[in-house]
Each structure stands twice: as structure tokens, then as C-alpha cells.
Amino acid sequence: MTRGKTSPDLPPATGHRSPATAFLSLGSNLGDRRANLSEAIAALTAEGISVAAVSPVYETAAVGVGDQPDFLNQVIRVETGLSPFGLLRAIKQIELAMGRPLLSHGKPRRIDIDLLLYDDLWVVALDLLVPHPEMWRRKFVLLPLLDLGSDPASPSSERASAILKKPEVAAQRVKRV
């Protein structure tokens, strides 16, 4: 990925010049986790967001939090006419509709949707950072990205495939289910 335009150059939140490609990470660790992932994908489609590709599902322990049920995670590639901010709003509405509390960071949840990548844009705003800053440390995000044929470069220009070989990432327990 090359550095692209940043947020001041973006079109309005409700529209984008042409369909953009974005990658979203989906995660669930409450209830019927696989059904929750499917429900989130259906909700995105209902919002007019075209799901172009879906990675395999991976199971992993919750990262950086206490004792919680394991997550099921996957990454999807979408095509959308929404700007990054419009896409973020749609994601947050879907999370709320699926019962995610507003202040649920670090807590179990039916669904967690993160905007990972949006075309070649780098967005820096109070409520949105793209590429997602935590993705480079999460094996459960990088593996499914590679499954979808995406090998993005981090801000330090390291490819996801190379980052997966780092001991602190390689050691993370992630199982394809």
C-alpha cells in the first residue's frame, strides 16, 4: 500500500467519487459467534455495501483483556460508495443494532467491526484512523487479509506477510475453523 490522500482531501461522508475497496475485520465472542458474523455481513449488504470477498473464519483468544470467551474472526473485502466516515457510521449503526453497547471496549460482545483499510487512503481523525493502527499486531487480522490476496504495507513499509513472521505475532494462538 502506498500513502494516499489523507482525510482533508476526502469527499463528504455520505458519498465517494467512485466505488472504493475497503477491508473490514469482524469479530464475535458472545452467543452463536458464526451466526453473528453472518448477520453482520447481511446487515452490511442491507446498507448497500457490496461484500466482494469473505475470508475463512479464525478462532483466537481475546487480545489485551481479561478472561473472556474466544473470538471468531474474519476479514471481508467490500465495495462501497461511502466515504471512510460514512462507512464508519454504517458500521457503528450495525454494531448498535446487533446489541453492542457504546462503551464495550475490552468487554465480550456479539459483534465488533473494524475498518482496516480503505483504498490507498491514510485517514487521521479523532474518530477514525486508517489503516487501523492495531491491525499490524494482530495475527487474526493479518492471516485473513492474506487469505483474501491482500498483503498491505504497514506505516513502516513492512508487508503483512513479513509481520506475521515476527515472534510476537507468530506466537499468537489463531486457529482456522
Determine if the peptide bond prior to 108 is cis (ω within 30°): no
Nearest-angstrom CA–CA distance, 148 and 28: 20
- Look-up of cell digits 490476496: 149
Q: Decide: pTM greater than 0.75.
A: yes
Q: Is the dihedral of CA 86, 14, 40, 153 positive or negative?
A: negative
CA nearest to 140, candidates 13, 27, 22: 27
> Average pLDDT of the chain?
88
pLDDT tens by residue, 40-95: 999 999 999 999 999 999 999 887 666 889 999 999 999 999 999 999 999 999 99
Q: 145 vs 10, 58, 128, 138, 163, CA distance in Å? A: 25, 12, 20, 11, 12
Residue 114 β-bridge partners: 25
Share of the chain above pLDDT 70, in %: 85
CA nearest to 69, candidates 112, 25, 101, 40: 112
> Going from the N-terminus, what domains does the chain have, and what CATH number goes with each?
7-176 (3.30.70.560)
pLDDT tens by residue, 7-37: 444 444 445 457 999 999 999 999 999 999 9
Range name among 27-36, 96-105, 108-117, 121-130 with the lowest pLDDT average: 96-105
Q: Read off the pLDDT of each residue in 120-138 and give the average, rounded to a whole number.
A: 92
Residue 153 has pLDDT above 70, yes or no: yes
For residue 100, the model assigns a pLDDT of: 79
